[in-house]
A and B are shown apart, each in its own frame.
Chain A
């Protein structure tokens, strides 16, 4: 295109009718909120093809499966308890559910956390974010909040199923709700804390790889190692009389989260079980503290990573 120059001594910029944005500008918090909503949709695969929804929904389903089965058979279970064929102890409770089914929740994080942060690095999207109203820390917090919310939702699915199941087992529904409510309530803060803890770990570790598959391998290695190594050292130390070895058990994220759930509900810690249980020498407070410290540390790592990342 060639435009004939109007009288211009040294140089000129012509207004050829550019479209100016005249609307309202929302600013930083709106940008953070948008990124948060987009992230949460991404974790669940909304607005994406069915294949993107498969992993989060199937894994949440598997995680909630025991509770859903208990819900489906609640009338039969209540009868067999009444007739003494089963004892109330066989039924999953709010505070020990996570310990039993956490494997699928870990898989949920392995599959979905890299989804949130790796591709932004791989396809060099970050500079586009950082040149907008959004800061680096804003990005990190929006992603963390999105994953935490999604994981919290997943964690609450079996809790709600258990709640409904417990109510259905009782003849008087209204009274049952009143009785059950105080027992169910602690599962909300416990799930929130667990979700934040798992999400901060998963996101911080994932942010170190632009490739989703490598991030997933890293997460698997971390969660499995933390499940095995402290336990091995603790068992060895028990024979050797190392009284410090029990504190290592707080390093296992899933173990610490289930102990924290016990702390919220006031239930006793499970000190025996399939994997030898948690050491009896530590109180539930220690695990809650460990979970909080882990959240702080991994969030700091995440922020540090995004501060240093070349955009």
Chain B
């Protein structure tokens, strides 16, 4: 199955279905056309197409979905096995000059531990050939809110501080495209918010920002476009909230043990939110599309039917199962 997605122009979510028409915007900053990457027999990224312009986009997916592979292809550290990868209109592979316009925040935590935060950012600025490297470095440090710690060696930093130092180093040359691999790892909620604000601010200034995450909630605040990858393929793209709704409105299966399963079943069947009820040895299986409605319903139903609830087990709520649902569709 080929997945081709139009650029997220209208905000409508598009779930991977059949081949669709490919619409091109004038010169997207990031463009993947049928890009694939495999290692021997293992396919890490399978026939992925999308293009992004200015704005913040989240690249979501469970571990092993191929997010890092996509970012590394965009950063020029992996050649696609098939298809095309373009950043600012050219192939980033084997052409170091593109890094003048790309900032990369890798997932690996290590930063030269003997450098101070400021020295590290300044090192990046100088390698970028900035003439005002000192001023640019101090600005970048300020933007990530690391002024207090900038004279301490990075070896003494906490995870979140190190993450911010990496981001400062990657944006010191004000790149057109910023790629961040799991940037919110190790950040506390407040730092996460500050980082989100920073990314949104850069996007407003016309930069293209793509970050990856395997935690759905992390993206909540950006309120922007997301791409969802599952098992090496693009499973969904579009507005975060719309996709989120599609994900939560999928059928859920809930298992209930009660003092009288049969009577409870009869009472539940009356509601339109319930698709199906099944009596089994393990208890009562209920299928519903709306978890929130069900939660309110079950309390009333058991009270009115005079049934005591022993156990209510809802199906797997992890992101993995959500993604799983998306690909099986």
Contact = CB atoms under 8 A, between A and B. Distances in A.
Contacts of A3: 310-311
A2 interface: yes
A4 B309 CA distance: 7
A2 B313 contact: yes
Nearest to B312: A2
Chain A, interface size category, equals under 10
Contacts of B313: 1-2
Interface of A: 1-4
Contacts of A1: 313
Contacts of B309: 4
Interface of B: 309-313
B35 to A, nearest CB: 33
B241 to A, nearest CB: 28
Contacts of A2: 311-313
A298 B239 CA distance: 66
10 contacts: A1-B313, A2-B311, A2-B312, A2-B313, A3-B310, A3-B311, A4-B309, A4-B310, A4-B311, A4-B312
Contacts of B310: 3-4
Given A2-B313, A3-B310, 8 more contacts: A1-B313, A2-B311, A2-B312, A3-B311, A4-B309, A4-B310, A4-B311, A4-B312
Nearest to A6: B310
B317 to A, nearest CB: 11
B312 to A, nearest CB: 6
A3 B313 CA distance: 8
A137 B42 CA distance: 44
Nearest to B309: A4
A3 B311 CA distance: 5
A4 B283 CA distance: 15
A1 B310 CA distance: 12
3 cross-chain pairs, A with B, having the tightest CB-CB distances, nearest first: A4-B310, A1-B313, A3-B311
Nearest to A1: B313
A2 B312 CA distance: 6
Contacts of A4: 309-312
A47 B310 CA distance: 49
B215 to A, nearest CB: 21
Nearest to B313: A1
A3 B312 CA distance: 7
A8 to B, nearest CB: 14
A25 B37 CA distance: 50
A97 B195 CA distance: 69
A3 B314 CA distance: 11
B89 to A, nearest CB: 44
B303 to A, nearest CB: 14
Contacts of B311: 2-4
Nearest to B255: A1
Nearest to A3: B311
A149 B114 CA distance: 44
A3 B255 CA distance: 12
Nearest to B308: A4
B105 to A, nearest CB: 27
A5 to B, nearest CB: 10
A198 B312 CA distance: 64
A283 B309 CA distance: 89
A2 B310 CA distance: 9
A55 to B, nearest CB: 25
Nearest to A4: B310
B259 to A, nearest CB: 11
B256 to A, nearest CB: 11
A95 to B, nearest CB: 52
Contacts of B312: 2, 4
Nearest to B257: A4
B118 to A, nearest CB: 31
A3 B256 CA distance: 10
A17 to B, nearest CB: 13
A242 B310 CA distance: 91
B261 to A, nearest CB: 14
